[in-house]
Amino acid sequence: MPRTYEQAGEDVKELHIVLCEKYYKWILEDQVTFNFLIAHGPRDKDGNVSAPAIMLHGHAAAATVKINSLKDRVKGLADVTIEIDGDQWPAWTEQQRMAVLDHELYHLEPHTNADGSPKLDDCGRPYLTLKKHDFHFGGFAEIALRHRDYAFEVKAVEEAFQLITGEGGQMEWPWAAPVPNRKLAAS
């Protein structure tokens, strides 16, 4: 059975409003519209999930955000679509759900005119772009263990840690930690 989708329930929409009122007033003021979709991963013949509900750049993702094209908005689609992993959502705490949704909303960047008013696209809708992550990296635990401070994986994690904490200095690494199994290092 392939991936399936459904419209998100009121729980997602309520969290969205809470986050917008607290952090993204511009979304409410500019009347940015949203489609919230819940994705479910494909199932095997026994009904067990056989793959992640959402994939992004070849990796499982908790959620994704997309600014819909002008053509799709003219056809009646909302300005933005957020997909959420519906196989994981029920197990997440309220705080995890807020964090996931907040992450996706934070990607949205409004554009304004010189006078501060919202810049509009050809459809008369707010002109939006996606903000890139402050840090983004991939790596292998085995390479980090093998090369330690010389591994780019280690440097990327150190930079992310310093960005998050606002502190300088060296982060302590658990070099005596057990060697990861091959499955973990290859994932």
Residue 184 binned pLDDT confidence (cut-offs 50, 70, 90): very low
Q: Following DSSP, what letter does each residue of the chain receive, concatenated?
A: ---EEEE--HHHHHHHHHHHHHH-HHHHHTT--EEEEEEE--B-TTS-B-S-S-EETTEE-SEEEEEPPHHHHHTT--SEEEEEETTTGGGS-HHHHHHHHHHHHHTEEE-B-TTSPBPB-TTSSBPEEEPPPS------HHHHHHHGGGSHHHHHHHHHHHHHH---SPPP--TTSPPPPHHHHH-
pLDDT digits (tens, 9 = 90+) for 36-83: 999 999 999 999 999 999 999 888 999 999 999 999 999 999 999 999
> pLDDT of 124-158, one tens digit each?
999 999 999 887 778 888 888 888 888 888 888 88
CATH of range 4-130; options 2.60.120, 1.10.3430, 3.10.20, 3.30.2010:
3.30.2010
**Segments making up each domain of the chain, as ranges:** 4-130, 141-186
